[in-house]
Structure 1
Amino acid sequence: MAAVEPSPSLFTGPLGAVETNPTALKLILGGKLRELRVAAGLDPSAVDVRLGFSRSKTSRIELGRHGCKPTDALALLDLYGVAGDERVTEFVRLVEQSRRSDWWRSFSDVLSDFFAPLVALEGAAATIRTYEPFYVPGLLQTSAYARAVIQSGPARLYSHDVQRRVDLRQERQRQLDQKDGPRLWALIDESVLLRTVGGPQVMRGQLEHLAAMMQEPRITLQIAPLDVTASVGVGTGVTYLRFALGDLKDAVYIEHLTDSTFSQKPQVVEQYRDMLDRLGACAQTPRQSLALVQERLARL
């Protein structure tokens, strides 16, 4: 079994703010353990047997679905030929960080399983790119607009559940205010401006907020005219997460009628990134988009 060549770190670069995101850390650590296992010429089942793990435990750790204990990490690193240096110390420290609870778990009562992967990782992204065909993106919604959107859904919700969902949306927005928070590049369909959600007063407040957010240097918003969205062929909401770290793969979240798809498969991610690129190239510029928002405000 070949030992891994020594290096200052097992990672491609400093993890920075990602260290505060347990879900992202689990994925990064799992991916690194997989690389080390492959380099050592072992398959997951062989590792399970060698270390006395339960069946498929190694695979679940590598996929970020199973929290890795520090003792497990030490055993795995030793088996893969990484032992007794600062790389081990760094890795175990990150394992301990990854075992903390994510902030969003306190909203598990109102957070659907299919939405959780996006919420879990968007704060770790360098850039969030999103396209919304029906509503203002959740990261740019006012609380009143968000409440109206949530109440318009098919499920009849108690007022407490509605407020919890609004609170979750606002908590997600706070990640944009962090020092190392993600940049937001949002594309919205022109029809979103014409759809008076929650009544004129709520819509006016939302458009005023949107105009203010468009002045923020880390936020870019473009309006996609109706003929553009028809030609590009976008029929659903899409969010693309671009990570600055080579140890964490980019991801895409695609909305459907009753559920969604979250994928980090390169071919899927590339397809939707290309779609967002084409849509952004055909959409109104940020300055033109601001003028459209202000024009709509004047008519309300």
Structure 2
Amino acid sequence: MVRLRLASIKGRWVMRRAGSPTVRRRRLASELRRLRERAQLTLEEVGERLGWSATKLSRIETSRVGVTPKDVGLLLDLYGVGGSRKDSLLKLARDARKKGWWQAYSDLSSEYAAYIGLEAEAASMCSFAPLVLPGLLQTEDYARAVVRAGFVLASPGEVERRVEVRMARQAVLSQPTPLSLWTVVDESVIRRPVGGPEAVRAQLKQLIEVGSLPHVTIQVLPFTAGAHSGTSGAFEILEFPDRADPDVVFLENLTDSLYVESETDVYRYRVAFDHLRARALDPDQSRYLITQTATEFD
């Protein structure tokens, strides 16, 4: 039996994918930018007419900050949008201001909270992991070792909060309409003794179990593959069920996160991932290698 569960946050069972305010905010930002361009107005011209700074409007249009329904109404009036179209966008603005369960952890990182919001709404994810397993596949002990090593200045309480939210995120794989996950992991990932032999052995056994789910595909990129298209580092490609929400690539380093949304750039990452899975062992061969590696930690 695969040990995945719905997220329990402070005593509440959380049904994921009920709709992410993070995704709604991105959609609203995209619509507001498109309407401004259709009205042939610059950021400076809109700011001058509404008494706003161009910076404020730019941050709204890039979804870096939220926007109140009142401000959305002012923008729509300026752009000449009315009727049912205005009503639907105002509703989208109200929905975008609702809080997801992950907002309770925004003190850890606002960027992390934003990422969880996107992950909660994604229909599929392609992930390349050259150093450690993706958070959606980690056991609690493995996750704790990764967090302790990666956040060397974190207090024990912060470490446990990060582990808690990482476990809660895994509900996307066990809900009625689960996230479709395709991940390619470097061979070094399954051989690295993260948390010690016992933790790795349990992690690899769970990896085999999760990999048997019909919506999860796990491939191992062997050392013999040599140089490959993922040498620049880890990345994740998230695809959403609504065509109004463009695909996004998520990149992360020690101090910052980056979202790549340009259609051309996202395509380049898709090509890179296609090359990676073509060079990797197929799922059956990968499962065999993971199984054999787990016995080495006995």
| TM-score bin, normalised by smaller chain | 0.7 to 0.9
Residue identity opposite 1:67 in structure 2: G
1:30 corresponds in structure 2 to: 29
Is 2:112 aligned against 1:137?
no
- In the alignment, the residues of structure 2 paired with residue 209 and residue 258 of structure 1 have an alpha-carbon distance, to the nearest angstrom, of 30
State the 1:169 CA deviation.
Answer: 0.7
Separation in structure 2 between the aligned mates of residue 53 and residue 156 of structure 1, nearest angstrom: 39
Instruction: Point out the more displaced range, 125-134 or 45-54.
Output: 45-54
Which secondary structure does the structure 1 equivalent of 2:291 belong to?
helix
Q: Is the 8 A contact 1:19 1:25 kept in 2?
A: no
- Aligned partner of 2:66: which letter? G
TM-score of the pair, normalised by structure 2: 0.86
* Superposition deviation, residue 117 in structure 1: 4.0
Deviation at 1:181, TM superposition (A): 4.1
Contact 2:228 2:276 in 1 (8 A): no
- Alignment correspondent of 2:204: 207
Provide closer, same or farther for how the CA distance between residues 18 and 170 of structure 1 changes in structure 2, counting only shifts above 3 A: closer
Q: Using the alignment, how far apart are the partners of 1:240 and 1:267 within structure 2? A: 13
Query: Structure 2 vs 1, CA of residues 122 and 167 (structure 1 numbering), >3 Å: closer, same or farther?
Result: same
Per-residue Cα deviation, 1:232-283 (whole angstroms, up to 9, x for no partner): 3524211111233332222212233554432212333222221111001111
For structure 1, list consecutive stretches of 5 or more residues without a partner in the other structure.
1-16
CA distance, structure 1, for counterparts of residue 291 and residue 115 of structure 2: 31
CA gap of 1:37–1:156, structure 2 versus 1, over 3 A, is closer
Q: State whether structure 2 residue 184 is matched by structure 1 residue 190.
A: no
How far has the Cα of 1:225 moved from its partner?
0.7
Classify 1:225/1:89 alpha carbon distance in 2 versus 1 (closer, same or farther; 3 Å).
same
Specify whether residues 108 and 229 from structure 1 end up closer, same or farther in structure 2 by C-alpha distance, changes over 3 A only: farther
Q: In the superposition, relative to structure 1, how do residues 116 and 152 fare at CA in structure 2: closer, same or farther (>3 Å)?
A: same
TM-fit CA distance, 1:212? 0.8
Count of residue pairs brought into register by the alignment: 282
Query: Is structure 2 residue 258 aligned with structure 1 residue 261?
Result: yes
Which residue identity lines up with residue 251 of structure 1 in the other structure? Answer: V
Aligned twin of 1:89: 87
Find the aligned partners of 1:73 and 1:185 in 2 and give their Cα distance: 38
Structure 1 Cα separation of the partners of residues 82 and 252 of structure 2: 44
Q: Give the AA of the match of 1:167.
A: E
SS in 2 for 1:230: coil
In structure 2, the CA distance between the partners of 1:18 and 1:63, relative to structure 1 (3 Å rule), is: farther
Q: Structure 1's 95 and 180: CA in aligned 2 closer, same or farther, altered over 3 A?
A: farther
Q: Structure 1's 269 and 200: CA in aligned 2 closer, same or farther, altered over 3 A? A: same
Q: How many Å apart are 1:192 and its aligned residue? A: 1.5
CA positional deviation for 1:45: 2.1
Moved more, 270-279 or 234-243: 234-243
CA deviation digits over 1:74-119, x for unaligned, max 9?
Answer: 23223222212x22222211111101123222112323x5544433
Helix, strand or coil at the partner of 1:71? helix
Are the counterparts in 2 of residues 20 and 97 from structure 1 also a CA contact under 8 Å? no
User: Does 2:50 align with 1:51?
Assistant: yes
2:286 is aligned, of 277, 289, 296, to: 289
- The alpha-carbon distance between structure 1 residues 288 and 266, as it changes in their structure 2 partners (threshold 3 A), is same
| CA distance 1:32–1:133, change in 2 (3 Å) | same
Residues of 1 paired with 2:45 and 2:263: CA distance? 28
Match of 1:174 among 171, 176, 190: 171
CA distance in 2, matches of 1:212, 1:192: 17
8 Å Cα contact 1:122-1:241 kept in structure 2: yes
Alignment deviations for residues 176-224 of structure 1 (CA, whole Å, 9 cap, x no partner): 3333442111110011121121122111111111111011111111111
* Equivalent-residue separation in structure 2 for 1:290 and 1:205 (angstroms): 15
Distance 1:158 1:283, change over 3 A: same
Structure 2 unmatched ranges of 5 or more: 1-15
Residues 257 and 80 (structure 1), Cα distance of their counterparts in 2 relative to 1, 3 Å cut: closer
Would the alpha carbon gap of residues 145 and 229 (structure 1) be closer, same or farther in structure 2, given more than 3 Å must change? Answer: farther
Cα-Cα RMSD: 2.3
Distance in 2 between the 1:39 and 1:121 partners? Answer: 27
- 3-state SS of the aligned residue for 1:184? strand
More deviation in 263-272 or 132-141?
Answer: 263-272
Residue 247 of structure 1 aligns with an amino acid whose one-letter code is A
2:75 aligned partner:
76
2:43 partner amino acid: P
TM-score, with length taken from structure 1:
0.85
Task: Name which of 123, 128, 131 aligns with 1:126.
Answer: 123
